[in-house]
Structure 1
């Protein structure tokens, strides 16, 4: 069994059988490509079927010198998934990573923005340009609906159900969910759609995509990061912020204002409530305030 051929088959499995996104498939594939490069560099003759725990531990030990504990844990998880696939396809009877322990890592709390900081970022946008109106609609949507970047980029005109007060979001694994959208955010999207986008000529295959670049194609992830970084700088905010920060802020502000955790889970598209529970740890002062306000022994 050849490593590169096995990796190609694994990538196809992840995409077609598991229904993972292109980004997720790429992430998993990079873990195995790193292993393949190490195997070639060290003249290891073992195949995906014959490689053993000792060899993998040696690989992880050398990789750990360049990786944080969190990255090490993710690498080991990626390897486990690859060998589980080989077992699933009856290429192996065992998983050589079963007895390899991941480093213990603390739960990373997400960075958030205050409501004032979000207002400052959006207010810093130059609305005298068509791109300004588009960028305002983008940032408002990221924050008001708690979207992932991939979900924002795939948002279509046909996904807008403004009369009902929802948008249809396609999340991880092509799973869809309806997310409420505020009237103010509907207004900014409508301005962009009816006053700016209507004058663009979408490229073939992009006619239904909501947010377009100047050439009439879908925006890239890198472009969304650039927009956020530029507007954060314009607003004079020194925090390290990414588009995902708006999603974290969406969830945190909902929780702080009394929203039910289950409702937040549904809006974020989390499969497990455990993932959503991280927001319970973001603002401990808020939790103390809730006890002081509502507990009978306050």
Structure 2
């Protein structure tokens, strides 16, 4: 009886140790930080909901718990081993979601030069229903602009929104713009640093030129940290602007999910609706092969500028 009791105690102790080991098991600090960067991108640039971001987080934590490596040490075979493992345990829809999460995460890492090679690049996504992104109309964009308060911070947010509309750039690209990136003294073109450290020149419609001058002359100096910064927008970060934009859109009674990237989709749709050649749309939005500022033909810049002015894109 005594031996049986000892055996039971030993079994309980082993089970407890196993549970404690399982609880203590966690992903590395490096993986946590890179996942955080990725989730911030999803939330503040792509406009993903909290539940979507939480789902991505769970999927990535599960993946890194399985492979037990840092994100920049993952090889292609590790990804395929994980997919083989979850294929035996999960339904097709769940597997498809997890595969998509890994592919999206590593595409982000590769484009931001966090990894030298995309280990999930050769993995084929499982087929799923394609949904077109929600877009804003010109009227809705104007309502958002009109609801920016007439304070230095409000005018800064208004100009950021107009830059998003006028350039099709990502919010991180806009917030990193420096005054020197204005192509000339008349503010006719903006030089945007995009992927692979390549510049593209984007035209600014005529009415917007005066607003840029007015902001720089009147409002920028009243913003915090303006004197010590070369940036056009010295007093905001991606998260802060994302929160401000949500409030502005709500005040404008826009029921759609408004986030910085929605302007990019909306601009493309509006330009195509106005019979703009798709190759020009791709160039404006940075989807085509990026042409450096040094070799960008001047007549093409004038043509793009005329297009923006003709359809009053972003104008009040």
Fold-level similarity (TM above 0.5): yes
Secondary structure at 2:266's aligned position in 1?
Answer: helix
Could you tell me which residue of structure 2 aligns to residue 116 of structure 1? 139
Gaps of 5+ in 1: 12-21, 41-46, 83-87, 90-94, 214-218, 274-298
Give the superposition deviation at 1:189. 2.0
- Distance apart, 1:145 and its partner CA: 1.7
| Change in 2 beyond 3 A, CA 1:155/1:57 | same
**Greater alpha carbon shift after TM alignment, 184-193 vs 258-267:** 184-193
Q: 1:265: which partner in 2?
A: 282
CA offsets per residue over residues 58-107 of structure 1, 9 Å max, x none? 1466687996945632414657999xxxxx99xxxxx8996x65311233
Give the alignment's TM-score, normalised by structure 2. Answer: 0.60
Partner residue in 2 for 1:179? 202
**Match of residue 75 from structure 1:** 102
Of 197, 202, 209, the residue aligned with 2:220 is 197
1:253–1:37 distance in 2 versus 1, CA, 3 Å = same
- Structure number, greater radius of gyration: 2
1:58 aligns with 2:81: no
In structure 1, C-alpha distance between the alignment counterparts of 2:140 and 2:121, rounded to whole Å: 45
Query: How far did residue 211 of structure 1 move?
Result: 0.6
> Residues of 2 paired with 1:122 and 1:97: CA distance?
39
For residue 253 of structure 1, report the CA deviation from its aligned partner: 1.0
Give the 3 Å change call, closer, same or farther, for CA 65–160 of structure 1 in structure 2. Answer: same
Matched residues in 2 for 1:80 and 1:242: separation? 21
Using the TM superposition, give the Cα deviation of residue 266 of structure 1 relative to its aligned residue in structure 2, in angstroms.
0.7
Mapping of 1:3-14 within 5 angstroms?
A: none
Alpha-carbon distance, 1:36 to partner:
2.4
Q: Give how far 1:164 is off.
A: 6.4
1:132 aligns to 2:160 (yes or no): no
Equivalent residue for 1:103? 126
1:145 alignment partner, one of 167, 174, 191: 167
Q: 2:263 aligns with which of 243, 246, 255?
A: 246
C-alpha spacing 1:71/1:179, structure 2 compared with 1 (3 Å)? farther
Distance 1:263 1:107 in 2: 25
- Displacement of 1:223 after TM fit? 1.5
Query: Unaligned regions of 5+ residues in structure 2, if any?
Result: 1-26, 43-56, 69-73, 110-115, 291-316
State the structure with bigger RCO (CA 8 A, min sep 6), 1 or 2. Answer: 2
Q: Is the 8 A contact 1:133 1:191 kept in 2?
A: no
Contact 1:125-1:135 within 8 A present in 2 as well: yes
**1:157 and 2:189 matched:** no
Q: C-alpha distance in 2, partners of 1:60/1:4?
A: 25
Q: 1:229 to 1:62 in 2, by over 3 A?
A: farther
The change in CA–CA distance for 1:174 and 1:52 in structure 2 (over 3 A counts) is closer
Q: Distance in 1 between matches of 2:191 and 2:260?
A: 19
Distance in 2 separating the partners of 1:167 and 1:151: 11
1:71 to 1:130, Cα distance in 2 relative to 1, 3 A: farther
Q: What secondary structure does 1:111 align onto? A: coil
SS of alignment partner, residue 179 of structure 1? strand
Shift, 1:270, TM fit:
0.9
CA 1:144 to 1:55, structure 2 compared with 1: closer, same or farther past 3 Å?
Answer: closer
**In structure 2, how many angstroms separate the alpha carbons of the residues matched to 1:169 and 1:103?**
35
Count of residue pairs the alignment pairs up: 234
